[in-house]
Chains A and B, each alone.
Chain A
Amino acid sequence: SQQGEEDPQALSIQEGENATMNCSYKTSINNLQWYRQNSGRGLVHLILIRSNEREKHSGRLRVTLDTSKKSSSLLITASRAADTASYFCASMDDGSRLTFGEGTQLTVNP
């Protein structure tokens, strides 16, 4: 079964605007991660938030985690055309496996 589900499936914004993507998961987690995938490429790790953290920042990225609602959000501020990509959340269980959601396709228009 799919652990993570992203919302929206697709998002189109103008350069300079903020982009918010949401993720829900089903079971308890050790941490939650966000990855980015450019077209035709492998995934690249962006940021990790642990289950005892509520918010984390990295450059223009801000991630929040609400374990009571089993949800996370990724905010990209001041978006750029180069941010155009697919973004995936991935939940880490108590073992060694990451379970990925279906992804959000972000398009940033110049």
Chain B
Amino acid sequence: DAGITQSPRHKVTETGTPVTLRCHQTENHRYMYWYRQDPGHGLRLIHYSYGVKDTDKGEVSDGYSVSRSKTEDFLLTLESATSSQTSVYFCAISARGGAGLSGANVLTFGAGSRLTVL
């Protein structure tokens, strides 16, 4: 997982509290993503960023917000954590994006952040 770090790696919190997960990269990649992984659902995209201050929603964005104020950091915030947000969260980065046969989007993943909401 060289070049991409997630913090915290483990967190236990209570329902209703705000939580922020941080993803930090040293690769200067343009694209950054937040996924959550749950049994029976694989990985589902929460939000992604295609540049500083440029973000878009994924398929499970409700209850989450993101911010990217500089290239290297992508923050995921749970405004008011719920038990359904107990999950393992993965950040990923990519140097390339876009369509076309010459484009490809291979992701490098962080080690994950395990969040438990009681």
Contact = CB atoms under 8 A, between A and B. Distances in A.
A33 B1 contact: no
Contacts of A1: 59
A68 to B, nearest CB: 18
B25 to A, nearest CB: 13
A60 interface: no
Interface residues of B, number: 32
B42 A44 contact: no
B98 A96 contact: yes
29 contacts: A1-B59, A2-B41, A30-B103, A35-B107, A41-B112, A42-B1, A42-B110, A42-B112, A43-B90, A43-B92, A43-B109, A44-B109, A45-B108, A48-B106, A90-B43, A92-B104, A94-B99, A95-B98, A96-B31, A96-B48, A96-B105, A97-B33, A97-B45, A97-B58, A98-B105, A99-B45, A99-B59, A100-B44, A101-B42
Interface of B: 1, 31, 33, 35, 40-45, 48, 50, 58-59, 90, 92, 94, 97-101, 103-112
